[in-house]
């Protein structure tokens, strides 16, 4: 970092991705050394982003409002970096510092907004300066912005100054190894013994586990305003009992990971720095997310058990690794059009989103492949289903990726590595025929409903289909349908939830499902008639049309005509309203 008035261009290392690391990442892996390499590259990126933010702020009139000058921030940060480079590096790599940098730059570029003047976000740099000085053992006096009477010190804790206006400033002093806010009034700050709360102070709590006999941990962040993926959030302090639940789940997740995949456990121990709790979903599905801005951080609702917690960590850390690689290499050059089916998403996805999802599910497949033999006997069938289902989902997505011309040369090599990893599981004989059949049905279920909801054949094509049916002729060859996204926010996913229930002996609450779904999963030939009855009540139901397609194709599996073009069935029935949906489905199913 430079501190002179001219601010010459920032210099950062040029990083070359070693082939061994690239190939390991392409296979969904990447051990501790690979993660250390990615952290090094992310540090370079953070330095450049910090420089860009402060240089842009210096050129923007009024950007820092009543706060000190940009030069004072540079001086404090440069001194701390020189005195304690490792401590400075760790501070700048704190996930919420990355989120703040991204949000601040977007505000400067008018692509994001905040709940206060620009200086309330950009001024967070002075809280960063205070923590950097504290860690380096340097004295500092500065001014920080308040947000609702609070100020966050990254990686440290939240100072709460009651009675202060929503927007304002406070004085901060760092001296003799202590940080205090408002030193000329009633001072607040972290207690002398670090890690605990104090009057006017909410500390960041820690989560702890052991990997390879060594302690590891990360922060449980429920107070930093930049802990989310979007706009700043108010603090949402967890009760002590809730925090204890997170600790138990975290420890259990690492025990599961170390038992089945020690390398992944060690890689996570190197890379994971913060975990942000989010509210649970009303459906009970674990909600999780991560951001390329915040390497080493993830958000999640509390998983219900250690295995699900381990899967969530693997899932989001896959996104973290790929996000860091994408800061170094371009894997695709796509316009961002939402056009692809992603087997785990209900909405159409751009190529970049499909790549991210496929990479996350490559890691999930790897987890279940390793955990399967270690699962308790009562959970073995459920684990086998999750492995087989994730394997099918990921294979379908990787085939779509490989066929897309928007991949770069690096992207093609990366996707080839993903495909090769999937090949190693194709002949895995640990999945029984019945469980594998349910995994195939679950994969077909999602793809079929996605096509029924989002793809629309042209009206002239529907009329041509209807004329062929009435004439007793086979269906004509038709051009591809038009993508017309269905805005319905949530699907029921009843059949997949029912499969998981049936495979879990300890499950008590059976998901509500129509009799037709139970008949389909039982292999009952009456399933098609049951879905036809549901369509008599609601002729537009995507779930019932999907169930009918699955029932017809599984009663006597024909060529894949109906599974490949299920979106033709509902509009054809609208054209021929008096014709039985079952008869139309059998006719389309017989087409090659």
Between the two ends of the chain, the Cα-to-Cα distance in Å is: 65
pLDDT of residue 2: 39
pLDDT at 368 over 90: yes
Place of tokens 């269906």: 475
Q: How many domains in the chain?
A: 1
Q: Lowest-pLDDT range, 4-18, 276-290, 406-420, 442-456?
A: 4-18
pLDDT-above-90 percentage for the chain:
86
Going by C-alpha positions, the residue among 216, 218, 215 that lies closest to residue 227 is 218
Please state the rounded mean pLDDT for residues 308-334: 98
Residue range 25-70, pLDDT digits in tens: 999 999 999 999 999 999 999 999 999 999 999 999 999 999 999 9
Tell me whether residue 200 is in a domain: no
Q: Which residue has the tokens 């003799």?
A: 176
pLDDT above 50 (res 1): no
The residue to which tokens 């062929």 are assigned: 468
Residue keyed to tokens 């305003």: 225
pLDDT at 591 over 80: no
pLDDT, one tens digit per residue, over 58-73 is 999 999 999 999 999 9
Mean pLDDT on 345-364 = 97
DSSP 3-state of 299: strand
Listed residue (371, 370, 359) closest to 398, CA to CA: 359
pLDDT tops 80 at residue 505: no
Closest CA to 322 of 334, 333, 330: 330
Return the bridge partners of 297, or none. Answer: 274
Q: Is residue 359 part of a domain?
A: no
pLDDT (tens digit, 9 = 90+) per residue, 211-222?
Answer: 999 999 999 999
Residue 551 has pLDDT above 90, yes or no: yes
Q: 112: which DSSP letter?
A: -
Q: Which residues pair with 205 in a beta bridge?
A: 220
Grade residue 167 by pLDDT with cuts at 50, 70 and 90.
Answer: confident
* Structural domain includes residue 303: no
Q: Please, what sign has the CA dihedral across residues 112, 286, 387, 372?
A: positive
Q: What does the block give as tokens for 563?
A: 């599974």
User: How would you class 537 by CB atoms within 10 Å of its CB: exposed for 0-12, middle for 13-18, buried for 19 or more?
Assistant: exposed
225 in Cβ contact with 147 (< 8 Å): yes
pLDDT tens, 245-301?
999 999 999 999 999 999 999 999 999 999 999 999 888 899 999 999 999 999 999
**pLDDT, tens digit, for every residue of 370-412?**
999 999 999 999 999 999 999 999 999 999 999 999 999 999 9
Instruction: State residue 318's pLDDT score.
Output: 98
Q: Does residue 492 fall inside a structural domain?
A: yes
User: For position 4, what pLDDT does the model report?
Assistant: 43
Please give the structure tokens belonging to residue 412.
């093609």
Whether 556 has a pLDDT exceeding 90, the answer reads no
| Cα distance between residue 216 and residue 213, in whole Å | 9
Check if the beta carbon of residue 149 is closer than 8 Å to that of residue 160.
yes
190 has pLDDT over 90: no
**Does residue 417 form part of some domain?**
no
Residue 530 forms part of a structural domain:
yes
What number is the average pLDDT over the span 71-82? 97
Instruction: Give the strand pairing for 157-160 and 201-203.
Output: antiparallel
What does the pLDDT average to over 104-119? 93
pLDDT exceeds cutoff 80 at 192: no
pLDDT in the model for residue 488: 82
Return the pLDDT at 191.
81
Q: Is 473's pLDDT higher than 90?
A: yes
Say yes or no to pLDDT of 509 above 90: no
Instruction: Judge contact between 447 and 472, C-beta under 8 A.
Output: no
Dist CA 33 CA 314 (whole Å): 17
What is the C-alpha to C-alpha distance for residues 517 and 500, in angstroms, rounded to an integer? 13
Quote the mean pLDDT of the chain: 94
**326, burial (CB in 10 Å: exposed 0-12, middle 13-18, buried 19+):** middle
pTM for this one? Answer: 0.94
Report the pLDDT value the prediction gives residue 283, as an integer from 0 to 100.
82
What's the token pair of residue 166? 């929503």
Statement: residue 184 has pLDDT above 90: no
Q: What is the pLDDT at residue 559?
A: 63
Q: What is the CB neighbour count within 10 angstroms for residue 39?
A: 18
**207 lies in a domain?**
no
pLDDT mean over 135-152: 96
- Domain hosting residue 533, numbered range: 437-589
Residue 444 included in any domain: yes
Cα separation of 497 and 517, whole Å? 11
- Residues 414, 26: Cα–Cα separation, whole Å: 5
Sheet holding 297-300, edge to edge: 205-211, 214-220, 274-277, 297-300, 288-289
Strands (E), 398-478: 455-456
C-alpha torsion 362→366→372→378, nearest 10: -40
Q: Which residue has the tokens 């609208």?
A: 574
Reply yes or no on whether the pLDDT at 415 is more than 70.
Answer: yes
């Amino acid at each position: 970092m430079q501190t002179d008035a001219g601010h010459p261009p920032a210099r950062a290392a040029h990083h070359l991705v070693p082939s061994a690391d690239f190939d390991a990442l392409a296979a969904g892996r990447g051990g501790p050394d690979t993660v250390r390499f990615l952290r090094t590259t992310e540090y370079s990126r953070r330095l450049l982003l910090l420089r860009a933010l402060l240089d842009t702020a210096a050129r923007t009139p009024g950007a820092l409002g009543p706060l000190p000058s940009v030069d004072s921030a540079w001086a404090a940060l440069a001194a701390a970096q020189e005195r304690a480079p490792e401590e400075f590096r760790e501070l700048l790599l704190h996930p919420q510092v990355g989120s703040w940098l991204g949000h601040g730059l977007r505000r400067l570029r008018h692509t994001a907004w905040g709940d206060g003047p620009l200086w309330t976000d950009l001024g967070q740099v002075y809280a960063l300066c205070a923590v950097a000085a504290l860690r380096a053992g340097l004295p500092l006096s500065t001014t920080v912005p308040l947000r609702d009477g609070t100020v966050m010190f990254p990686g440290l804790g939240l100072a709460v100054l009651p009675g202060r206006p929503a927007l304002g400033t406070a004085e901060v002093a760092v001296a003799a190894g202590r940080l205090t806010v408002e030193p000329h009034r009633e001072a607040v700050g972290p207690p002398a013994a670090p890690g605990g709360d104090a009057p006017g102070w909410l500390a960041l709590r820690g989560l702890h586990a052991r990997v390879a006999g060594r302690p590891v941990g990360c922060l449980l962040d429920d107070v930093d305003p930049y802990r989310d993926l979007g706009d700043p959030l108010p603090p949402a302090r967890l009760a002590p009992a809730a925090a204890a639940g997170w600790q138990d789940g975290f420890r259990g997740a690492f025990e599961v990971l170390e038992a089945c995949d020690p390398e992944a456990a060690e890689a996570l121990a190197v890379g994971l720095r913060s975990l942000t709790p989010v509210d649970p979903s009303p459906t009970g599905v674990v909600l999780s997310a991560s951001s390329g801005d915040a390497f080493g951080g993830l958000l999640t609702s509390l998983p219900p058990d250690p295995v699900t917690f381990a899967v969530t960590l693997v899932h989001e850390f896959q996104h973290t690794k790929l996000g860091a690689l994408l800061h170094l290499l371009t894997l695709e050059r796509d316009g961002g059009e939402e056009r692809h089916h992603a087997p785990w998403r209900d909405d159409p996805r751009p190529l970049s989103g499909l790549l991210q999802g496929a990479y996350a599910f490559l890691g999930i497949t790897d987890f279940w492949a390793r955990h399967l033999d270690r699962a308790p006997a009562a959970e073995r069938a459920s684990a086998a289903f999750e492995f087989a289902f994730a394997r099918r989902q990921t294979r379908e997505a990787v085939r779509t990726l490989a066929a897309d011309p928007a991949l770069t040369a690096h992207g093609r090599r990366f996707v080839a590595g993903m495909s090769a990893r999937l090949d190693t599981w194709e002949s895995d004989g640990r999945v029984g025929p019945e469980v594998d059949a349910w995994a195939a049905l679950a994969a077909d279920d999602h793809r079929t409903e996605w096509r029924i909801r989002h793809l629309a054949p042209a009206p002239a094509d529907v009329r041509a289909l209807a004329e062929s049916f009435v004439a007793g002729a086979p269906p004509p060859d038709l051009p591809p349908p038009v993508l017309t996204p269905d805005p319905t926010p949530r699907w029921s996913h009843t059949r997949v939830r029912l499969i998981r229930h049936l495979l879990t002996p300890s499950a008590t609450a059976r998901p509500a499902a129509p009799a037709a779904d139970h008949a389909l999963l039982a292999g009952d030939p009456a399933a098609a008639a049951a879905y036809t009855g549901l369509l008599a009540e609601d002729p537009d139901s995507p779930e019932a049309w999907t169930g009918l397609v699955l029932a017809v194709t599984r009663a006597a599996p024909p060529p894949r005509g109906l599974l490949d073009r299920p979106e033709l069935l509902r509009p054809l029935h609208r054209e021929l309203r008096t014709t039985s949906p079952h008869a139309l489905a059998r006719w389309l199913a017989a087409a090659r």
